[in-house]
Structure 1
Amino acid sequence: MKKDSGFIYAVATVDTKGNELYFVRDLISRSGAKVLTVDLSTQSLSHAAQVDFSAESVAACHPQGASAVFCGDRGRAIDAMATAFEIFLSRRDDVAGIIGLGGSGGTALITPAMQALPVGVPKVMVSTMASGDVSGYVGASDISMLYSVTDVSGLNRISRQVLGNAAHQIAGAVLFDVAADASDKPALGLTMFGVTTPCIQAVSKALESDYDCLVFHATGSGGKAMEKLADSGMLAGLLDLTTTEVCDLLFGGVLACGEDRFDAIAKSEVPCVISAGALDMVNFGHPSTVPAKYADRLFYHHNAQVTLMRTTPEENVAMAKWIAAKLNRCHGEVIFLVPQGGFSALDAPGQAFWWPEASEAFITTLEKELVQTDKRRIQYLPYNINDPLFADAAVAAFRGLVAREK
C-alpha cells in the first residue's frame, strides 16, 4: 500500500506506555508518513482522548462485546483484547504498516493481529521479549522484533534511541515501499534443508521459467509459512520434498512443525508433490542440549550449535503412520515420491546416516497406511533424494498433476 493511501498504526497499552507511544507517533509523523494511534489498555481508560482509537472502541470488536475485555482478570483480559484487536485490524482497509510497543503482555496483545496481516505489510514490534525465543510471537509472519534493551517504561537515553530507530524503521518501510512483483507467473512453494539443497535447486531451476519458485527452509516456521500462503490461495502448487519438521515434532527436536502440518494441503487441495526429505534426522542444538534419553544414539555434529540424530526404524514407522494419517485427509492431487536410495545427503552409501533398514521401515509402513486413490498415490524411485534423476522425476510428477487438473 502506498504511503498516500494508508496509515501506520502505532499500538500500545496507553495506561502504561502512553508517553512512549506518543514519542513514536511524533517521530513517524515528522518523517512524512501518516500515523494513527491505538490504545489496547485493559484497565484504565483515562487516556482515551489522546489516541485515534480508544481501548473501548477496540474492545467492542470482541464477539462477546467490551465486557469480555474489561473483566477484571488480567490474563483473560489480555486474551480477549488480543482477539478484539485482531478483528479490529482485519476491518481496516488502510493499514500501510504497524508498530507495537510492549512488554510480555503487550507483545501477546499485539502480535496475533500482526500475524494475521498479509506478508509484505511492514510490521515492527518493540518488545522486552525480543531477545529470547520469539517463535510464538512471530509465527509464520514477517514481523520484525526489536529488543527494547530497557523496559518499555519511561523515556530515557536508551529508550529514546531504540524507539527512535523503530519509528524510523517502520516509516522507512512504508515511505520507501518495494514495488510489487509484476510477474504473472504462478507461485510454487518448495521446502529445503541443507541436506536436500541439490534436489531443490535442481527442481527450482527446471520450473523457474514457468513458475515463481518460493523456497522455504524446513525449520518449523518455514513449513508454517509455506502452508499459510497455500491456505491463503497464494500458491499454485507445492513441492513439499523436505518434511523433516515431522521428525522434530514427534521426537522432541528443535525445528518442529505444528500438529497442523499438511492440513493446509488438505484444505486448499493445491496440487502437491511430497517426499521424505531429511526424515533420517532429528535436530538439536549444542550436544549438551540433547535429552539424556538419547545418549546412546547415532549423532552427526553439523556444527558447534547443530547436532543431528539419526532416526531409528521404530521412529520411521511412527513418522510414516503420522504422515499417512494426514495425507489420507487430502482429496486434491497428491503424490508421494519415495527416494529409495536415501532421504538426505547423509543417508547415502558411505555417509554417516546410511541405514537402509530404517528407511525401509518408513517405506513399508507408508505403503501399508496410505490409502491410495486416483488422486493420492505413491511413486517409488531408486535414487537418493539429491540424485539429478530424482529431481527430474519430481518435476515430471508435478507437471503431471497440473495437467490432470486442467
Structure 2
Amino acid sequence: MGKVIAIFGTMDTKGEDYFFLKEKIEEAGLKTLLIDTGLASMAAYPCDVSSEEVIAAGGSSTEEIRRHERTYAFEVIGHGSTEIVCGLCRKGAIDGVISMGGGQGTLLAVMVMRELPVGFPKVLVSTIANLRTLPFEGVNDTVVMNSLVDISGSNGILRMVMTNAAHAIVGMVEHTEKAVAARETKKPRVGITMFGITTPCVERVCAILKAQGFEVVVFHVNGQGGKMLERMIREGMLNGVLDVTTGELGQEYMGGTCTAGCHRLEAGPERGIPMVVVPGALTNANFMPPSTVPEKYQHNKAYLHNPNLVLVRADQRESVEIGRIFAEKINRCTGPVEVLLPERGTSLYDSPGGPLYDEAANRVMFDEICRTLRSDIPVVRMDVTVNDEAFAVRIAEDFLKLYHLKGNGEY
C-alpha cells in the first residue's frame, strides 16, 4: 500500500500552506492523509477526515461549538484530533505525522503528538519553537522546527521551511525500520536518574551494570527527563530502574523549575519492575532567574549555580514533608524495591562542606522516610554521601539482587 503520512491542521486558516506540504510529501513518493482540525470544512481544501468528523470524535458538533467560547472548541477539536490520529496509529494506517501552527496550532499539535508512541515519526513546524514555553512540555520525541516567519500565506521563506519539514518527515518515515532496529537490544535495559550534583555516583553505578551485561539509559532529571522516564516505564521499555536522583519530587513540592509534575515516581511502582530508590538531590529546587525565588524561601540556604540559576535548599519542616511524599510514592510498589539513604549527604552541594549541607534537615527527613515506608520495604541507612564509591557499589549490587529475584528480568 505504501507508507502514509498524516497531515493535520486548520484548513480554514492555513489550507494553502497544508496543501503545499501535501504536495511536497507526495512528490517525494509517499502518500498523505489530511485531517482538518479547523472549525468548518473548506471546499477548496478537501480532506480525508473532515472538520465535522474531528469535532464528532471530540464529543460535540459544529452547531454546539458555535454556542460556546473559543476554549470549548479548542478542547473538543484537540480531543477529537488525538482520538483520530492515535487510532490511525494503533491500526497501522499511518506511518508518521506532521503539523504546523502558531500558538494555538502548536498547542493542538502537542496535545496529539505527546500521546503517540516513542519512536513514531512526528514533526511540528511552529512559530514559537524558539521560545521556552509550556506547549513544548512533554512534547515527546517530536522534531520541532522553527518556522522563522508566520505561517500565513505563501512566501519563499515559508516554502523553504515547509519543504525541509516535508523532507524531514519523509526521511524519518522511509527509514523507520532503521530507527526501530537501533532501539532494539538483546541486553536487559534499565534506567537510571542523574543530575550534575549526583553524577559521580551514577557514573560508577553505570560502569558496574554495563560490566554485568546491562544496557543503561541515563535520564537527566530536569523535569523533562523524569517525565520521559515515567513514560518509558509505562510503555514497557525498561526492565528496571535505579532512581538515584529523585529531586524532581522536591522541585514539585517547592515550585522549582525542574519539576516533572505530580506523577513522578509512580510508573515503576505501578508496573512492579525492580527498583532501587535514593533521595538524591531530593531537597533542592531550581529557580531561574534567581529573582524568581518566592518570598517564603528568602531565609533558606541557597547557592548560585550560575548567573541564571539558583538552587534553594528545603528547611527542616519542608524536608520532612518532602521525605513523606518520597516514601508514600514508594509505598505503592508492587514489585521488588529497596530504599538506600546516604546519611552524610544527598548531592555534591548537600554534603559536609557543601553550600547546601544541612545535617539536621537530612536527619529528620531520613527519619520521616523510615517512619512512613511500609514495613515490608527494605531501607538501608549508610554513613556516606551519595557520591561516595561505597554507596554506588551498594546501589548496583542491591539492584542486581532485586533484578535476579524477579526472575532474570522475565516479566
Equivalent residue letter for 2:132: D
Partner of 1:305: 308
Equivalent residue letter for 2:185: S
SS of the residue corresponding to residue 96 of structure 2 reads strand
CA 1:364–1:39 in structure 2 vs 1: closer, same or farther (change >3 Å)?
A: same
Report deviation, 1:48.
Answer: 7.7
Name the CA distance, whole Å, in 2 between partners of 1:68 and 1:194. 54
Among 19, 23, 27, the residue aligned to 2:24: 27
Name the CA distance, whole Å, in 2 between partners of 1:67 and 1:55. 9
> Is this contact kept in 1: 2:52–2:62, CA < 8 A?
no
SS of the residue corresponding to residue 205 of structure 2 reads helix
Partner of 2:148: 149
Name the CA distance, whole Å, in 2 between partners of 1:362 and 1:5. 58
CA deviations 1:21-45 (Å, max 9, x no partner) are: 011111222233333222111x221
Gaps of 5+ in 1: none
Deviates more, 1:316-325 or 1:46-55: 46-55
Q: Give the aligned length.
A: 399
Report runs of 4+ in structure 1 exceeding 6 Å deviation. none
Partner of 1:86: 82
Deviates more, 1:389-398 or 1:260-269: 260-269
CA deviations 1:95-128 (Å, max 9, x no partner) are: 3221111222222222222111111122111223
Report deviation, 1:65.
Answer: 5.7
Report deviation, 1:70.
Answer: 4.4
Name the CA distance, whole Å, in 2 between partners of 1:381 and 1:272. 18
Name the CA distance, whole Å, in 1 between partners of 2:57 and 2:188. 36
Equivalent residue letter for 2:399: F
Partner of 2:296: 293
TM-score norm. by structure 1 comes to 0.92
Equivalent residue letter for 1:26: E
Name the CA distance, whole Å, in 1 between partners of 2:148 and 2:404. 54
1:66-105, aligned counterparts within 5 Å? 66=61, 70=65, 72-73=67-68, 74-92=70-88, 93-105=92-104
1:122 has 2:125 as partner: no
Equivalent residue letter for 2:198: T
Partner of 2:205: 203
1:322 has 2:325 as partner: yes
Equivalent residue letter for 1:314: R
1:338 has 2:341 as partner: yes
Equivalent residue letter for 1:129: I
SS of the residue corresponding to residue 129 of structure 2 reads coil
1:186-225, aligned counterparts within 5 Å? 186-208=188-210, 209-225=212-228
Equivalent residue letter for 2:225: G
Gaps of 5+ in 2: none
SS of the residue corresponding to residue 95 of structure 1 reads coil
CA 1:356–1:183 in structure 2 vs 1: closer, same or farther (change >3 Å)?
A: same
Name the CA distance, whole Å, in 1 between partners of 2:219 and 2:100. 29
SS of the residue corresponding to residue 95 of structure 2 reads strand
Name the CA distance, whole Å, in 1 between partners of 2:390 and 2:157. 57
Query: What do you get for the CA RMSD once the two structures are aligned?
Result: 2.1
Report deviation, 1:66.
Answer: 4.6
CA deviations 1:50-91 (Å, max 9, x no partner) are: 2232223333433x3656974543211221121122121222
Name the CA distance, whole Å, in 1 between partners of 2:31 and 2:186. 31
Equivalent residue letter for 2:12: D
Partner of 1:10: 7
Name the CA distance, whole Å, in 1 between partners of 2:336 and 2:308. 39
Report deviation, 1:343.
Answer: 0.2
Deviates more, 1:190-199 or 1:95-104: 95-104
TM-score norm. by structure 2 comes to 0.91
Name the CA distance, whole Å, in 2 between partners of 1:76 and 1:221. 28
Name the CA distance, whole Å, in 2 between partners of 1:296 and 1:68. 56
Equivalent residue letter for 2:232: L
CA 1:49–1:22 in structure 2 vs 1: closer, same or farther (change >3 Å)?
A: closer
Deviates more, 1:178-187 or 1:7-16: 178-187
Equivalent residue letter for 1:158: I
SS of the residue corresponding to residue 332 of structure 1 reads coil
Equivalent residue letter for 1:384: T
CA 1:248–1:138 in structure 2 vs 1: closer, same or farther (change >3 Å)?
A: closer
SS of the residue corresponding to residue 57 of structure 2 reads coil
Partner of 1:349: 352
How high is the sequence identity, in percent, across the aligned residues? 34
CA 1:305–1:33 in structure 2 vs 1: closer, same or farther (change >3 Å)?
A: farther
SS of the residue corresponding to residue 79 of structure 2 reads helix
